[in-house]
Chain A
Amino acid sequence: MITDVASSPPRRRTRRRGGGLLPSPGWGYLMIAPALVGLVALYVWPFLTTFGKSFMDVPAFGPGTFTGVDNYTELLGDERFWQALRNSALYTAILLLGLPVAVVLAALIEQVSRGRAGYRVLFFLPVVTLPVAVSMVWRFIYNGDFGLLNYVLSRLGVDGQYWVADATFTIWAVGVVGIWMSLGINLIILGAGLQSIPPDLYEASALDGAGRVRQFFRITLPLLSPSLFLVTVLTVISALQMFDLIFVMLRSVNNTALADSKTIVYLFYEKAFVEFDQGYAAAIAIVLLMVIMVATLVQFRLQRRWVFYD
């Protein structure tokens, strides 16, 4: 592109200004420099140093010593790492369970003739609310003794639980909050997907005698599948990186469930910033990157079977 512009005969506009607006390919690089510098400084360089550190024993301060793959072998033998990976996987699965909810809600919102924007705003609010504030509110809702959830359950005759203090429930409790918080974004993407479905398809199928349910499964779902695929990929990536909800909702001096509820990024945080074990933390980050890459790759492979592009 850049060379094309440079080698094409000078246009009148540039000639009139005298100097030539695009004298060399260098200009092009200069134009993208701000973005490039940001990318290198904030992503590429940190990635390279993290990758390097993952093969070193790095103390809290000062240079590290090269230890080969020690961090990785220790990681693979660390039960706490596998548990964190299982927790992250469970959390991701729970968030994926929330996707059908998002599809149904998006379809319902499209049916609304008045105040559609109002509904979207309501569902979008959690997305733009501070996660820490959201987590604090949910901490109160989940409180075992005074929480709103247990109060409602008690009125229904169901025994309450210590949702965020009992390792049986923690990931599920946090997962519900995760679904609720990501609903807004998902509804926007799915809503846009729904609006791109030509209405005449519904009219034609109605003439052929298809009911609402049949239309949903035969028209809406296949034509929505590209949006659904995008939402699925984004959900898996963000869910595997979940940290803040555990950090705010479970961190308490006496939360004995925390030890069994750490996600992979929480473990990373603890290793890097609490225990000062940066090499080990770097290895965790690299493994997480690989997990996310594999998960995304697999999804792109699988999409051929279910995503419908017209």
Chain B
Amino acid sequence: MRHGKRWAAAAAVLVTLAATGCGGAGGDGKVTLSYATWSDDQKPAMEAIAKAFEEKHPGIDVQVQVLPWPEYWSTLQVGAAGRTAPDAFWMLADQFPAYAKGNQLLDITDAVKTAGVDLAAYPKAVLDLYDVDGKLFGLPKDFDTNGIWFNKALFDKAGVAYPNENWTWDDARAAARKLTNPAAGVWGIAAPLDRQGGYYNSIYQAGGRVIGADGRAAIDSPEAISGLEFWTQLHADGSSPTLKQLSDTEAVQMFMDQKVAMYFSGSFWAQRLYGDQALRPHVGVAPLPKAKQRATMISGILNAGYAGTKHPKELAEFLIFASGRDAAVIQARSGAVLPAYRDTQQGWLDAMPEFNLKVFVDAVDYAVPLPIAGDAAKWTGLESQYLAPAWEGKQPAAEAARAYNKAINEVLAQ
């Protein structure tokens, strides 16, 4: 019963949070908009954006709220169903279809047209992630691509040359093996079961796809299987901590503890890695290795609005502003994320000059939108059940891929 009470209390807190998020006109006739996010790191930048907006629109008050990540989506869902959702909020591509289909998002197509926003200023791959029949339900706030985060000190110690833009899978695998030093408790690479930073990239690098052109799963094609094998081989070589180890201590923590020499992941770690004074001088960045071709996933947060808002006009103005050039410059300067708006990324690069972060911006040229289809949350939730045995060496990657492919198609058919 006590657990139940706790759960009930947590639910009550969520509802309260959502309730406080409901927009309303203040006593002095001011319009109040709430803006929900999940990142403490980005709070200062978001507040600066809100302030800049308020200066231009004296009648509007924007309140930034940070919800903890585990509760963010349940809060938003409950809030939307109970008509108390925040006015503006961050949206992710895999959650987007449910909200768009459920008519929960404010259509800002006309407002964007009237304001004369140049859509070409945003990476097309990110816009495509949020495209529903040509309607706009928000504008991209930021984007992230992937690269190799590597530890120069560990490379130097093992006498291995740093990764460069010509690296192939074979180079990465050989380097990982050489860098691994069990006596010192050091592994060449962290090979977690990671879609966005991991095996989705290698599937596309091998010329495969996750979801085929026909809208059905394509993870069992020979190319996709070789993309999975890139990771299972790293485990077979003993070049990575096991999945159990990576479960107890997450890959980024292993990298920060200087236990792994390479971590393939997103640009979004830059600020955290840069903030670690001891680690900072050792961190290098290189493009992901290529196989048949170069590829990286691209994703990005959408600034979206709630369809049930009391102030649709003001909200549309705010969304356009929060994804516009001025806001992008504020974000870039803070170093928190790579802003989506064209040519504002320099500020982000300048914020952390010691890191070769240009890799992540250049990666836009060969970036692929994160594959989303049907009930994405449901089938990605099955990933661990089907693919972990391959990562753990208990099952050949091809078998795991075929079983997972079947499971994805079953979800998509529902």
Q: Which residues of A contact B (CB under 8 A)?
A: 59-62, 127, 131, 139, 142-147, 162, 164-166, 182, 185, 234, 237-239, 241-244, 247, 251-259, 265, 270, 273-277
Are A143 and B3 touching (Cβ within 8 A)?
no
CA A41 – CA B384 in complex, angstroms?
Answer: 39
**B246 nearest in chain A by CB position:** A254
Q: What are 15 sample pairs from A and B whose C-beta atoms fall under 8 A apart? A: A60-B77, A61-B99, A131-B6, A165-B248, A237-B1, A239-B3, A241-B1, A241-B4, A244-B10, A247-B70, A252-B250, A273-B73, A273-B74, A275-B375, A276-B77
Which of B77, B103, B248 is within 8 Å of A144, CB to CB?
Answer: B248
Q: How far is the CB of B291 from chain A (nearest CB, A)?
A: 24
Are B6 and A256 touching (Cβ within 8 A)?
no
Q: Given that A60-B99, A256-B384, A276-B377 are contacting pairs, would A244 and B81 also be in contact in the complex, using a CB cutoff of 8 Å?
A: no
Are A242 and B3 touching (Cβ within 8 A)?
yes
Most chain A CB within a 10 A radius of its CB, from B1, B10, B375, B388: B1
Are A165 and B247 touching (Cβ within 8 A)?
yes
Q: Which residues of B contact A (CB under 8 A)?
A: 1-4, 6-7, 10, 70, 73-74, 77, 80-81, 98-99, 101-104, 192-194, 243-251, 375, 377-378, 381, 384-385, 388, 391-392
Are B388 and A61 touching (Cβ within 8 A)?
no
Are B3 and A61 touching (Cβ within 8 A)?
no
Q: How far is the CB of A62 from chain B (nearest CB, A)?
A: 6
Which of B2, B98, B250, B381 is within 8 Å of A182, CB to CB?
Answer: B2
Q: How far is the CB of B85 from chain A (nearest CB, A)?
A: 10
Are B73 and A61 touching (Cβ within 8 A)?
no
Identify 14 new A-B residue pairs, CB closer than 8 A, beyond the known A61-B80, A256-B384. Answer: A59-B102, A60-B102, A61-B81, A131-B6, A164-B247, A241-B3, A244-B3, A247-B70, A251-B70, A253-B194, A254-B192, A254-B247, A256-B244, A275-B381
Q: Given that A60-B102, A273-B77, A275-B381 are contacting pairs, would A238 and B2 also be in contact in the complex, using a CB cutoff of 8 Å?
A: yes
CA A147 – CA B245 in complex, angstroms?
Answer: 11
Q: Which residues of A contact B101 (CB under 8 A)?
A: 59-60
**B250 nearest in chain A by CB position:** A252
The 4 closest A-B pairs by CB, nearest first: A61-B102, A256-B388, A165-B247, A162-B244
CA A139 – CA B247 in complex, angstroms?
Answer: 11
CA A61 – CA B77 in complex, angstroms?
Answer: 8
Are A166 and B104 touching (Cβ within 8 A)?
no
Q: How far is the CB of A287 from chain B (nearest CB, A)?
A: 16
Are B384 and A259 touching (Cβ within 8 A)?
yes
Which of A61, A131, A142 is within 8 Å of B98, CB to CB?
Answer: A61
Q: How far is the CB of B274 from chain A (nearest CB, A)?
A: 22
Q: How far is the CB of B8 from chain A (nearest CB, A)?
A: 8
Which of B74, B244, B250, B375 is within 8 Å of A166, CB to CB?
Answer: B244
**A274 nearest in chain B by CB position:** B377
CA A281 – CA B344 in complex, angstroms?
Answer: 45
Q: Which residues of A contact B74 (CB under 8 A)?
A: 273
Are B103 and A61 touching (Cβ within 8 A)?
yes
Are B243 and A256 touching (Cβ within 8 A)?
yes
**A259 nearest in chain B by CB position:** B385
Which of A59, A165, A185, A237 is within 8 Å of B244, CB to CB?
Answer: A165
Are B102 and A62 touching (Cβ within 8 A)?
yes
**B241 nearest in chain A by CB position:** A145
